[in-house]
A and B are shown apart, each in its own frame.
Chain A
Amino acid sequence: MSLAHESIASLRRRLAAKEIRCRDIVQDLLQQIDAREKTIHAYTHVDREAALAAAEKADPTLPLGGIPIAIKDNLNVLGDPCTCASKILDGYKAPYDATAIARLRQAGAIFLGRTNMDEFAMGSSTENSALGITRNPWDSSRIPGGSSGGSAAAVGGRIALAALGSDTGGSIRQPAALCGCVGLKPTYGRISRYGLVAFASSLDQIGPLTRTVEDSAILLSALAGHDPHDNTTDLRKPESFLTKPDASVKGLRVGIPKEYFIPGMDAETEAAVRQSAEWFKKNGATLVDISLPHTPSAIAVYYILATAEASANLARFDGVRYGRRAADPRDVLDLYHRTRSEGFGPEVKRRIILGTFVLSAGYTDAYYRKAQKVRGLIRQDFGKAFASCDLLLTPTSPEPAFKLGERTQDPLKMYLADVFTISVNLAGNPAISLPCGFTKSNLPIGLQLIGPRFGEEKILQAGHSYEQAHDWHKRLPPT
């Protein structure tokens, strides 16, 4: 079996036993990339020579020593391009490492390449990339999800062991669910965003996409902790999240929110998720019927707040300090207008306009302030739920991967793909998506476990127990 099919945990054991060398792992991955990347297009750039050179110098005694990791193309890696899948960052090279990157470097990881995404992380299908679409490794006529679609397709397609993504409204969990891998959005404040190109700063989180829950815990342990460069990061000492092999779900109170099982959702998805809930019950957990009553408002709240924040964050792309600049500007206004109009794609423009509108004179109270208040109610819903539950169990996405091109003309329908992931960002809680079945047509289905704030350990342990008893994560996509 190719080393590219193994988990990080297993490769670390084999490296420690000197059965394999770091170089072997990189070479096997590059071989898989050569075979599959043409179809999937998960990467915007593969760093072949640098990865092989780093493998020669890797120290396998470090926590991630010699382990290659793919990086979403919105994180700054010193000296590398960071395109955000946008024309506006043409020619940009990162002058520093993001904190998440510096921490992986310190843990000994090797950077394998950069993964495709929706432009500036705005989208749910990776079709909004200026660098071409990414295809789902399980069915190349379908989308991989988004916005971290390249990261999910690389891990699900076995052409990366693990990848970093970012999650503002579901951008790690939804593509992980659709590509058959594990995606973790940590608690807001758990991982520093310094060096992540900002989209909506009150929602953005960085997190890992991996083959297994155990690997997710390994990466989170390397990434978590306070950073003076991101003052939202929590001050508590970074803990180890490593999963215990004998973790049990006995005695866990698992909340099942009724708003996450809605008319019109895919029947096979609902059946797989309900069956997973039954597994928890059979193994000693108690299922608790709960309600998160403000869930139906989450999409509206999110697309007001996220676009408002994006309109401010993306104001920095003006052709002055970095990236693309329009040729021969007449004056400074012409420079701004032409640089931005030529550089941004349609979805980014649509969201900047929406965000500018909800913040404009006369509309702020009706939209932005109202949405902020409803966000408070959504957060209260979660607070109440966790008074009677240890974790919540829901589908990650209401349906499996849809066809390429099916929703590009209908942005509202595209936005509804995030209906089960968005509330978690608005509340700031951690959540993980892991494989819990396949449809009859062999498309992966994702199960979402939501934890209380800073309760990553709970969802990782519970997810690990579930994973140990199933083999969904071992199934390979067609070649």
Chain B
Amino acid sequence: MSAPQINISDVASLARLTLTREETEKFSSQLGQILSHMDSLKQIEMGDVPEVTPPAQPNLRKDVPVPSLTLQAALSNAPAQANDLILVPKIVE
């Protein structure tokens, strides 16, 4: 089976990216090539291979509150803020 045609604009929109026409053309051909390479995986016989386990078992700490970033530190990089809140464009009509 050949690599699927990837609809770059749709996928870009899912990723919240807007591409220029040049980027769309370039990425279409480059990603087509990359996906063809990835299609080589289809030839690998899998048999009964289980889903892969995580690369490390998580060592969770006890669920107790510990000091964290101060409000001031957490807001220190916000592009726009007021009253200890981050300002964003209106999202509710």
Q: List A residues at the B interface (Cβ < 8 Å).
A: 91-93, 95-96, 188-189, 202-203, 226, 228, 231-235, 294, 296-297, 299-301, 303-304, 311, 315, 318-325, 329-338, 340-341, 344, 346, 349-350, 352-354, 356-357, 360, 363, 366-367, 369-377, 379, 411-412, 415, 428
A60→B54 CA distance, assembly (Å): 41
Task: Classify the secondary structure of A's interface with B.
Answer: helix
Q: Given contacts A319-B79, A370-B42, could you give 9 more A-B pairs where the C-beta distance is less than 8 Å?
A: A202-B54, A203-B55, A320-B86, A333-B16, A341-B17, A346-B23, A349-B27, A352-B15, A412-B34
From B23, B38, B41, B49, give the contact of A376 (CB < 8 A).
Answer: B49
User: Which residues from A are CB-within-8-Å of B15?
Assistant: 311, 315, 340, 352-353, 356
- Check: B82 CB closer than 8 A to any chain A CB: no
Interface pairs (25), CB distance under 8 Å: A95-B74, A188-B56, A202-B54, A226-B59, A228-B61, A234-B56, A235-B59, A294-B44, A299-B37, A300-B37, A303-B38, A320-B78, A334-B89, A335-B89, A336-B16, A340-B17, A341-B18, A352-B17, A353-B11, A353-B15, A372-B51, A373-B49, A374-B44, A411-B34, A428-B55
Given known A-B contacts A234-B56, A332-B89, A337 and B18 have beta carbons under 8 A apart:
yes
Taking the nearest CB of chain A, how far is it from the CB of B49, in angstroms? 5
User: Which residues from B are CB-within-8-Å of A367?
Assistant: 38, 41
A412→B34 CA distance, assembly (Å): 6
Given known A-B contacts A93-B76, A95-B69, A373 and B46 have beta carbons under 8 A apart:
yes
From A231, A325, A336, A375, give the contact of B52 (CB < 8 A).
Answer: A375
Q: Are B38 and A372 in contact (CB under 8 A)?
A: no
Given known A-B contacts A235-B59, A320-B88, A354 and B42 have beta carbons under 8 A apart:
no
Given known A-B contacts A353-B8, A412-B33, A233 and B59 have beta carbons under 8 A apart:
yes
From A322, A335, A350, give the contact of B77 (CB < 8 A).
Answer: A322
From residue 57 to 75 of chain B, which have CB atoms closer than 8 A to chain A?
Answer: 58-61, 66, 69, 73-74
Q: Are B17 and A332 in contact (CB under 8 A)?
A: no
Taking the nearest CB of chain A, how far is it from the CB of B87, in angstroms? 9
Chain B, Cβ-Cβ closest to A359: B14
A318→B78 CA distance, assembly (Å): 11
Q: Are A354 and B18 in contact (CB under 8 A)?
A: no
User: Which residues from A are CB-within-8-Å of B50?
Assistant: 373, 376
User: Which residues from A are CB-within-8-Å of B76?
Assistant: 93, 95
Given known A-B contacts A233-B59, A323-B77, A357-B11, A376 and B18 have beta carbons under 8 A apart:
no
User: Which residues from A are CB-within-8-Å of B14?
Assistant: 356, 360
Given known A-B contacts A303-B34, A333-B16, A341-B19, A232 and B4 have beta carbons under 8 A apart:
no
- Check: B83 CB closer than 8 A to any chain A CB: no
The 7 A-B residue pairs whose C-beta atoms are closest, nearest first, are A322-B77, A325-B79, A95-B73, A376-B52, A189-B56, A232-B56, A336-B16
